[in-house]
Chains A and B, each alone.
Chain A
């Protein structure tokens, strides 16, 4: 019985650990579906995290903080959009620059907020459900953002596959010349997708600073933005597979924490800390070795600049 309770709380922490990955990766998935590769997820998450924390501390309202984080992420993404979509700069270089910029900007903004305590986002007490043994702990002991993150999966999937706007967005990412030829506005559509990706990354960062570990520490995302990027490839640009991947990576990062604490293995803690990132590399290598099939999953115009002739 004791073991079951431990297992339940471990699973609950996996779901929590997966949430920032889920937000950031879903946003990047939509961005990439429109044909834009934004490698600045880590930077957008950090700026989202520090903005959400600062606003939450100043206003005392956590939800306003999260909204502020989303807005900050979107603004970062729009900066990227201006560079790559309007000025047609190289997407890879700008994405890397956005991350480095985000690291610096978040450190600057967060300087006076280091060490300030904050009561994190409360767990929702859902009448009856939370008290179910095991299941209640695993599924119904979370805060609002966890549920929102999960809800975004079917919403994103429905948007992409069932709505006209989703269809147009995929078309733009698949063949921007043809989409332009049919009269769709490629650049505005990409701006919208990029801004959505930024907002989602911002919420992912906000979850870290106001819910997961309610505090501000420099570079507190610790590479989660990069894992989110890998997750999109892992998921072959499919939202439901992305949910699975987020839990898998969330699980690996929790396993790593328990392994360090419980000294399960006789290996240096640094090696265990590497686990999620090693898993990322392994997954990407295995996926890219599938060759032809993986090519079909990627949006055909991913990373290619578009200028109307």
Chain B
């Protein structure tokens, strides 16, 4: 450690500033990453973490500031320049090509002229050395999310990087996959590689990282030893105050079943999707059912089937208060009291280019704003939008702002608020706090609790296990289109759910050919 401290820092940023129209994404950011350390870059969504690493990787140019590499000032103009220095990056949203094979994907990330054929044994070798098993010949669209991330990691490792940047790498992994990733990262650190690890998950950072730089609204607010801190102190530094925990709701009485699925079966909706096979569950009034699982195991299909984006056969495979709704479209289901917050906030949940006043129309047309003679009541639309913005504290420039201009968390508060204010009997919600910062997440959770307390039945599909344990009364796991029997959340722990999520399969494919 003393040797490492004596050597110049591998990466040193000084006064990095980057301005986007309307926001200062990075404001004079200083950051030092030493050789052979795992350095956490911690912050809420929108704190400027991704902007900063894009500057380091040459994808964005800083407006001001200096980058030093091994003590020498450098200018990183492009990803190629970054790679030439020895910087490799694993992206948050995988930069993979679904139709191409593993080997082709790896080849694309490497400079030079190594042929795809020559790479296959190399991929196996690195895979064996770091426990990252991959079949080079398989097309990416046939792989699980965890395996896809392995491609990114292998691709980065083959560049023999001296600094590995990982942007929120665990958000889509099962707990077991996270553990394997951490083992790999620790071995890399021991081999002298520096790792810049971006996350907003406090427990992970305390487990993995040697030092942490904390960003808030584009500025560095602290540099800390995460192991000397508690999750609460780190969290307070990150959000600039304590996060109010949502109050847990009363839990289900022996209330009536509001939403029931009986052996729901549906073919896959896309080449990369998974069909549903015999999905059954029942949710009672006042109850929250959490559905866990790694993305691509049928979540999209389940949400579409429950929300009404696709009809299901037979019609009584889905019952709302005992009424068959499988054959009904979204509009008719809404009329019966089923509200739906899709996973994709822009495109399914809202029209990105339309103002909030028009977006409340999409689901609230019948319930709220239909005027005389079937004409729109524009005044009612504006009042509705303004009410949602006020009650759910949506940060926006106004109700005429287009949906796409809202940050992920604020748009989600708006979409959930839009549904909640129609007083639904059942709410189906996909990824309620995906990409939402901690403060907004607490507000979303509170709103969901309130709805359940008022007697609605909730189905929450999420990949965030912590969130499901916080919210749900019972948890079921979706794996390869099959749903496990829902069990009370109190009887489960993360490991048990993790095993259901991917334990038996989704692990390794037979790599030896």
- Interface positions of A (Cβ within 8 A of B): 164, 167-168, 170-171, 174-175, 177-179, 181-184, 292-293, 295-296, 299-300
Contact = CB atoms under 8 A, between A and B. Distances in A.
A182 B96 contact: no
21 contacts: A164-B113, A167-B107, A167-B108, A168-B108, A170-B97, A171-B100, A174-B97, A178-B95, A178-B97, A179-B97, A179-B108, A181-B59, A181-B91, A181-B95, A182-B95, A182-B109, A295-B271, A296-B99, A296-B141, A296-B271, A300-B98
Contacts of B445: none
B79 interface: yes
B96 A175 contact: yes
B268 interface: yes
A182 B111 CA distance: 10
B99 A182 contact: no
Given A170-B99, A174-B97, A174-B98, 10 more contacts: A170-B97, A171-B97, A174-B99, A174-B100, A175-B98, A178-B96, A179-B108, A183-B78, A295-B270, A296-B141
B34 interface: no
Contacts of B271: 292-293, 295-296
Contact of A181 (B79, B113, B116): B79
Contacts of A168: 108
Contact of B268 (A182, A292, A300): A292
B83 A183 contact: yes
A148 to B, nearest CB: 27
Contacts of A167: 100, 104, 107-108, 116
Nearest to B79: A183
A80 to B, nearest CB: 25
Q: Which of B80, B95, B98, B116 gathers most chain A CB within 10 Å?
A: B95
The majority secondary structure among interface residues of chain A is: helix
Nearest to A184: B108
B273 to A, nearest CB: 9
Contacts of B96: 175, 178
Nearest to A174: B97
Contact of B80 (A170, A183, A293, A296): A183
Contacts of B59: 181
Interface residues of B, number: 25
Contacts of B141: 296
Contacts of B104: 167, 171
A182 B270 contact: no
A170 B140 CA distance: 14
Interface string B134-159: 00000001000000000000000000
Interface in B72-93: 78-80, 83, 91
Contacts of A171: 97, 100, 104, 108
A160 to B, nearest CB: 11
B100 A170 contact: yes
A268 B91 CA distance: 62
A175 B80 contact: no
A305 to B, nearest CB: 15
A170 B91 CA distance: 20
A178 B58 CA distance: 14
B119 to A, nearest CB: 11
Contacts of A299: 99
Interface string B349-388: 0000000000000000000000000000000000000000
Contacts of B58: 183
Given A174-B100, A182-B95, A183-B80, A292 B270 contact: yes
Contacts of A174: 97-100
A200 to B, nearest CB: 23
A295 B97 CA distance: 14
A117 B99 CA distance: 50
B116 A182 contact: no
Contacts of B268: 292
A178 B97 CA distance: 8
Contacts of A182: 79, 95, 108-109
A300 B115 CA distance: 24
Nearest to A185: B78
Interface in B89-135: 91, 94-100, 104, 107-109, 113, 115-116
Nearest to B112: A164
A183 B95 CA distance: 11
Which 5 A-B pairs have CB atoms at the shortest separation, nearest pair first?
A178-B95, A183-B79, A174-B97, A296-B271, A183-B80
A175 B97 contact: yes
Contacts of B78: 183
A295 B271 CA distance: 7
Nearest to B78: A183
Contacts of A300: 98-99
Contacts of B115: 164
Contacts of A293: 271
A172 to B, nearest CB: 9
Contacts of A177: 95
Contacts of B80: 183
A179 B104 CA distance: 12
Contacts of B95: 175, 177-178, 181-182
Contacts of B98: 174-175, 300
Contacts of B116: 167
B512 to A, nearest CB: 25
Contacts of A181: 59, 79, 91, 95
Nearest to A168: B108
A168 B59 CA distance: 19
A164 B107 contact: yes
Nearest to A167: B104
A164 B109 CA distance: 12
Contacts of B79: 181-183
B346 to A, nearest CB: 16
Interface in B254-287: 268, 270-271
B151 to A, nearest CB: 12
A181 B95 CA distance: 7
A295 B115 CA distance: 28
Nearest to B99: A174
A177 B92 CA distance: 13
A293 B271 CA distance: 7
Nearest to A296: B271
A184 B94 CA distance: 16
Nearest to A298: B99
Contacts of B100: 167, 170-171, 174
A181 B96 CA distance: 10
B81 to A, nearest CB: 9
A177 B107 CA distance: 17
B204 to A, nearest CB: 24
A181 B270 CA distance: 25
Nearest to A292: B271
A279 B373 CA distance: 49
Contacts of B97: 170-171, 174-175, 178-179
A181 B94 CA distance: 10
A180 to B, nearest CB: 8
Nearest to A295: B271
Nearest to B115: A164
A189 to B, nearest CB: 12
Contacts of B91: 181
Interface in B186-210: none
B499 to A, nearest CB: 31
A174 B139 CA distance: 13
Nearest to A175: B97
A49 to B, nearest CB: 35
